[in-house]
Structure 1
Amino acid sequence: MYAIGFFDLLFQVFHLAIFVVSLYALIEAARTPAPAFPAMDKQTKGLWVGLLSASTLVSLAAVAGMFVFLTILALAVSLIFLIDVRPAVRQIGRSGSDGPYGPW
């Protein structure tokens, strides 16, 4: 009988967390209007959706035990989008009458 060790379980949780982050970033990229990317001097929506799709697939495969060595790359792509690109492209379409908690 194979007993799952503590570190095996820890790595499974780590890979699952990377999958969730990648999936969230993919959904956010798909929801963002395409003209917002070049307007904020970022790469195109198609490139980001493609990169994040690949990241999501790689991280899902890592949960299943394959391509484990690529999960750091998948996490890096997702975090670059969430930390750099997403805040910039979310500024497009906001009006000047928005308060700190949304429109008045």
Structure 2
Amino acid sequence: MGLIWQAIYIAIFVTSLFALVEAVRTPSQAFPAMDKQTKGMWVAILGVGTGLSLLAALGGAGMLTFLALVAALIFILDVRPAVRGVGRNDGPYGPW
């Protein structure tokens, strides 16, 4: 049973690390342009979540890790698609 939880915590860590990298790569002006919270806030939330999930993956207590997963999924599924196209001159299905 312990290996299953370990695999879950590693998957949460990878997900939150991906979200953190995407938040850092996104231009800061894209967040207020799409009526989302600031880049600094998202980087802070995802950074703390990534740290918590790393601790859980290394064997620490992991119940707060699910909050990190929720924050990462909100960023990946809601914020990232909204801010991704800011500053590009592409149409909804690619360049025209």
TM superposition score normalised by structure 1: 0.86
1:47 to 30, 41, 46: 41
User: In structure 2, do the counterparts of structure 1 residues 94 and 17 end up closer, same or farther at CA, with 3 Å as the change threshold?
Assistant: same
Q: Which has the higher contact order (CA 8 A, sep 6+)?
A: 2
Give the corresponding residue for 2:31. Answer: 37
**Aligned counterpart, 1:28:** 22
Partner of 2:24: helix, strand, or coil?
helix
Aligned to 1:85, the other structure's residue is in SS state helix
Which residue among 78, 84, 88 is the counterpart of 1:84?
A: 78
Number of residue-to-residue matches in the alignment? 96
Number of the residue aligned with 1:3? none
Shift in alpha-carbon separation, 1:61–1:86, aligned structure 2, 3 A? same
- Once the two structures are aligned, what percentage of the paired residues are identical? 56
Pair 1:56 & 2:50 matched: yes
Q: Deviations over 1:35-92 (max 9, x none)?
A: 0000000000000000000010000000112131101101000000001100000120
- 2:92 paired with 1:103: no
Q: Secondary structure at the match of 2:64?
A: helix
**Which structure has the larger Rg over C-alpha atoms?**
1
SS in 1 for 2:63: helix
Counterpart Cα distance in 2 of 1:36 and 1:99: 17
1:103 CA drift (Å): 3.5
